[in-house]
Structure 1
């Protein structure tokens, strides 16, 4: 029984380590997602705030239009990167959830085994006390 409890304790500890590792990974990915989002917001602001180019002289209008197209292309690329990163985050979050569930299940199994061991030990102690009491009673009546 103690061997099983020791093995289960080791498994719970390993699962806890896995959960902590995955939590760190998800936190790092969330930080990266926020950076992607901030970059996308800045790029969007850049091309929206560059103003209308139609009232500018021809050379400046072309230059301004090229600038807007370049920034919009970078923003589109950033959107793709962000959506791919969010998909990767979803996979990591599912892995974290699965690891957490495994740890909780093993923890519950460990608790049941520990409770059963304590119950068995108490039963054994009661049995020993009953045997001693019976022996004392028997000796007292001889």
Structure 2
């Protein structure tokens, strides 16, 4: 495989890894928005419980109704909290995946830079050699 083919292949791999990083970042942004919605829902549920007032100051029928309402809201809030914790665990997995993808992209980028540097040095060496040969021929032609 030629040096340029290697560089082209590494460049493609770096672009693929960069798109993977972008995809994971977009996924994390969506997950963060979902986490925010869960948190906002929990805050609203808490406000609903607080807004319903004390059930002990009401008539027995209304107190029973208010108590059942609060129980239902608490159960819904518990369910949302459980879902939120599971979602946050998934986000942590995605964050680790992002860190790994970013590391893979950076490592490939460094390998690509090393190969490009070697190719540049090789081109410079070949150019200097041609210039030296041309200068030598010109010097020899001037002596004759």
Normalising by structure 1, report the TM-score.
Answer: 0.96
Q: 1:97 aligns with which of 96, 99, 121?
A: 99
Residue matched to 2:9: 7
Tell me if 1:77 matches 2:79: yes
CA RMSD of aligned residues (A): 0.9
Tell me if 1:122 matches 2:110: no
Q: Give CA deviations for 1:106-138 in whole Å, capped at 9, x if unaligned.
A: 111111211111111011000011111112222
Aligned counterparts of 1:33 and 1:82: Cα–Cα separation in 2: 7
| Cα displacement (A) at 1:71 | 0.3
Q: 2:22 aligns with which of 20, 23, 31?
A: 20
Q: 1:111 aligns with which of 88, 110, 113?
A: 113
Q: Secondary structure at the match of 2:53?
A: coil
Q: Secondary structure at the match of 1:53?
A: coil
Can you give the 5+ residue segments of structure 2 that lack an aligned partner in the other structure?
A: none
* Residue pairs, 1:48-63, within 5 angstroms: 48-63=50-65
| Cα displacement (A) at 1:78 | 0.4
Residue matched to 1:67: 69
| Cα displacement (A) at 1:140 | 2.4
Tell me if 1:30 matches 2:32: yes
